[in-house]
Structure 1
Amino acid sequence: MNSTDRTPADLLRSALATDPGRPLVTFYDDATGERVELSVATFANWVAKTANLLQGDLSAGPGDRLALHLPAHWQSAVWLLACASVGVEADVAGDPAAADVVVSGPDTLEAARACRGERVALALRPLGGRFPAAPEGFMDYAVEVPSQGDRFAPFAPVDADEAALSVGGTSLSAAQVVERARADAEALGLGPGSRVLSGLPYDTWEGLSSGLYAPLASGASVVLVRNIGELSAAGLAKRVESERVTHTRGA
Structure 2
Amino acid sequence: MNATDRTPADLLRSALAADPARPLVTFYDDATGERVELSVATFANWVAKTANYLQGDLAAEPGDRLALLLPAHWQTAVWLLACSSVGVVADVGGDPAGADLVVSGPDTLEAARGCSGERVALALRPLGGRFPQPPAGFADYAVEVPSQGDRFAPFAPVDPGAPALAVGGEELTGAGIGARALADAAAAGMPEAPRILSSLPYDTWQGLSYGLYAPLATGGSVVLCRHPEQLAADRAAARETSEKITFGAPGPSA
State the Cα deviation string for residues 2-32 of structure 1 (Å, max 9, x = none). 0221100000000000000000000000011
Matched with 2:133 is 133
**Amino acid corresponding to residue 41 of structure 2 in structure 1:** A
State the Cα deviation string for residues 204-236 of structure 1 (Å, max 9, x = none). 000000000000000000000001111121111
> What is the CA–CA distance in structure 2 between the aligned matches of 1:193 and 1:126, rounded to whole Å?
28
> What is the CA–CA distance in structure 1 between the aligned matches of 2:144 and 2:230, rounded to whole Å?
32
Gaps of 5+ in 1: none
Alpha-carbon deviation of 1:141? 0.1
Equivalences, count? 251
> What is the CA–CA distance in structure 2 between the aligned matches of 1:205 and 1:126, rounded to whole Å?
26
Matched with 1:244 is 244
Task: Spell out the pairing of 1:23-38 with structure 2 (5 A cutoff).
Answer: 23-38=23-38
Q: Any runs of at least 4 consecutive aligned residues in structure 1 with deviations exceeding 4 A, and if so which?
A: none
Task: Spell out the pairing of 1:1-251 with structure 2 (5 A cutoff).
Answer: 1-251=1-251
State the Cα deviation string for residues 227-251 of structure 1 (Å, max 9, x = none). 1111121111000000000111144
- Structure 1 length as normaliser, TM-score? 0.98
> What is the CA–CA distance in structure 1 between the aligned matches of 2:185 and 2:79, rounded to whole Å?
22
> What is the CA–CA distance in structure 2 between the aligned matches of 1:14 and 1:41, rounded to whole Å?
11
Most deviating of 231-240 and 184-193 = 184-193
Identical aligned residues as a percent: 74
Alpha-carbon deviation of 1:192? 4.7
Counterpart contact for 1:102–1:115, Cα < 8 Å: yes
SS at match of 1:48: helix
State the Cα deviation string for residues 21-63 of structure 1 (Å, max 9, x = none). 0000000000110000000000000000000000000000111
State the Cα deviation string for residues 141-166 of structure 1 (Å, max 9, x = none). 00000000000000000000000000
SS at match of 2:190: coil
Counterpart contact for 2:201–2:207, Cα < 8 Å: yes
> What is the CA–CA distance in structure 1 between the aligned matches of 2:170 and 2:113, rounded to whole Å?
24
Alpha-carbon deviation of 1:189? 3.2
Alpha-carbon deviation of 1:185? 1.6
> What is the CA–CA distance in structure 1 between the aligned matches of 2:238 and 2:190, rounded to whole Å?
22
Alpha-carbon deviation of 1:184? 1.0
> What is the CA–CA distance in structure 1 between the aligned matches of 2:194 and 2:51, rounded to whole Å?
28
> What is the CA–CA distance in structure 2 between the aligned matches of 1:146 and 1:52, rounded to whole Å?
11
- Structure 2 length as normaliser, TM-score? 0.97
**Amino acid corresponding to residue 6 of structure 1 in structure 2:** R
Counterpart contact for 1:191–1:218, Cα < 8 Å: no
